[in-house]
Chain A
Amino acid sequence: MSSMADETVALAEDSRTARRAACAAVEEFNADYCAVLDDGDLMDWPDFFTEDAFYNITSRENFDHGRPVGLVYCEGRGMLRDRALAIARTSMFGPRYLRHYLSNTRVTGIEPDGTVCATVNYMLIETLAELPEGRLHQAGRMIDRFRPQPDGGLLLSSRIAIYDTLLVPNALVLPV
């Protein structure tokens, strides 16, 4: 009985070494994530999330005051897919490039079930045909939870993007 328990409850270790390894995995994950949003197929974006994932983009103003509203507020991969489909197939907006920069990755903890808690800063640069020099669209941080998968990879079970840039220029078209 006790040996069974030892096998099934292999508690993840939260050590400096484990965090370094997790940090490398998270950075790799985020680079792939940005590549899909910047240059890939938006319909692949929901595949970075678990089935029950939570995703929210909100201002620091809201976050600091415990106000739950989000520019984008999704419960579950289904809602993420609906958003990807809506943007790709139904939304009207002017042509643009959006490029994501994620940096300053910090693993803040590894939970016993292996969930990696991490934060990362982000910048979103928007370039429009009529604004070819580009502009900062959002700057902020993400508070993430990654769940390890049987294949050794990670999926996001929660991503909360909190932007410092209080005023959104016109519209936020793509996810961050």
Chain B
Amino acid sequence: MHRDGEAPAFFCLDAAGRVAAVIEFGDPALLRLGRRLIASGQPVDPARLGDPDIELSLIEDDDMKMLPIEKRFTWPASGLDRVPDWVYTSREIYDREIERIFHGPTWNYVGLAAEVPEAGDYIRTNVGPTPVVMVRDHEGGINVFENRCSHRAAEFCRELRGNAEEFVCPYHQWSYDLKGNLAGVPFRRGVNGEGGMGPDFNPENHGVRKLKVTQRNGAVFASFSEEVECFEDYMGEEMLTDFDTVFSGRKLKVLGHYRHTLMGNWKLYPENLKDPYHATLLHTFLVTFGLLVAGNKSAMIVDPRGRHSTMASAKSDGATVSAENKAEMRAYRDGMVLEDPRLMTFFEEFDSPWSVTMQVVWPGLIVQREMNTLGVRQIVPNGPNEFTMVWTMFGYEDDDEEMTRHRLRQGNLMGPAGFLGLEDNEAIKFVQDGMLNSTGGEHLVALDPEVPAGTSTTLISEAAIRAMYRHWRQEMGL
């Protein structure tokens, strides 16, 4: 079957009218759809296929919409050592992630208690992509509710942060108290006995949607699910230990935020921190100055369910890198020294064998302890191909001025302009570009096959990524 258009294509159909092969001339999107028509194994209408005015995706939709999602998105037979592109590029998969993961039984980081110290203090934040407000009430509790007016859906809270006695939707001035209860509806009884809400209207039933909230030593999490387990069980003992090293109960001092947009699927970020292999290869700076090199004391620890993880390492002197390891690392630069070595000074302030821990709290939080520069990164997905990352950098209230400045100086390592941070952002973009601009396929995550999925003792391993996808597939039912 021949299809004209800007880029012509040929479809070979078998006797049953199913697409068996596609030949295209210059349009990767067409070939990607073609591949999915082949994978669906469903007969198609040849006349529609050949009509260049009919969007191929519509044909696919029409033909495939009847099939359950598990039939349309099938995991490679090889198993967890392959990850198919559709995991990162499909809008349908993304929508299911929002429903099953971010709005499912997970704890989602929303902010620090230190950002809302006083009654009425609030910040705008998100659970997955969904805008929410985090606010402290007069009883000292922290509430999280959807930033969506129950009347006409307006995102009523507009400022990034502030202090308020109530939230008033600017459109029709419906007002909500600090717990998200509907407090006022203008002209509820109408005017002169006319108009207004009906007699059965009960404001109690029309508050904004409230989320379940928990705190752990100053970090605030919210969940759309009433059934979610308690935070301690959600984390497990081992992960909680790493978390509590940073959030030990010492009062936090917020130093500021970074916000940036990354042109990749949101999962590539947790994966990046479950991929110790890249750290010694991509990050020349890290390697050259001895922060992390192959052969350092290090660990890639995964919780038993495969969702949370900690990448941990102990700083070493660059001089100890063996000639053999140097040869493997193109990144290594001999003889580079910092003019101002304060950047790499490590004051041991934690009871931990590690100088660096990067912890993923599934699904959307990274807790960064890069020597003395501390922060959390919150992932806000914006569709399958993009996400926003909100960083909150902090120290402790009892830091002296010099310690605060040390944390700020060391902050040059991380963030959207950080020596390490910017490289990860670029790498993630390159990965998404690779998938979007090609004809589709799968990733190979096969390093360290002796550990099928989970904690590994070597940096040269992808077992933590496999563990994440074992969990993801369960949650997604795919």
Contacts and interface: CB of A to CB of B under 8 A. Distances in A.
A and B pair up: yes
Interface of A: 57-59, 61-62, 65, 67-76, 78-79, 81-83, 85-86, 89-94, 130, 166-173
Interface in B36-66: none
A168 B262 CA distance: 9
Contacts, number: 127
Contact of A171 (B288, B343, B416): B416
B458 interface: no
B350 to A, nearest CB: 21
Contacts of A90: 284-285, 288, 331, 333, 336, 419
Given A90-B288, A93-B426, A67 B416 contact: no
A84 B131 CA distance: 38
Nearest to A176: B417
13 contacts: A58-B256, A59-B259, A65-B161, A67-B256, A78-B339, A89-B336, A91-B284, A93-B422, A166-B259, A168-B258, A168-B260, A168-B261, A170-B429
Given A83-B412, A91-B422, 17 more contacts: A61-B256, A67-B254, A69-B256, A71-B415, A71-B417, A73-B408, A78-B338, A79-B340, A82-B338, A82-B339, A91-B284, A91-B419, A93-B423, A130-B433, A168-B260, A169-B261, A171-B417
Interface in B252-268: 254-263
Contacts of A166: 259
Nearest to A83: B412
Contacts of B342: 79
B410 to A, nearest CB: 9
Residue among B259, B340, B417 having the largest count of chain A Cβ atoms under 10 Å:
B417
B404 interface: yes
B405 interface: yes
Contacts of A78: 338-340
Interface residues of B, number: 45
A97 B258 CA distance: 23
Nearest to B404: A68
Interface string B310-343: 0000000000000000000001010010111011
B175 interface: no
Contact of B422 (A67, A82, A172): A172
A70 B408 contact: yes
B258 A71 contact: yes
Contact of B417 (A57, A81, A85, A167): A57
Nearest to A92: B423
A62 B338 contact: no
A68 B408 contact: yes
A59 B160 CA distance: 13
B406 to A, nearest CB: 10
Contacts of A67: 254-257
Nearest to B263: A170
B416 A168 contact: yes
Interface string B273-296: 000000000101100100000000
Contacts of A86: 285, 419
Contact of B259 (A57, A73, A76, A168): A168
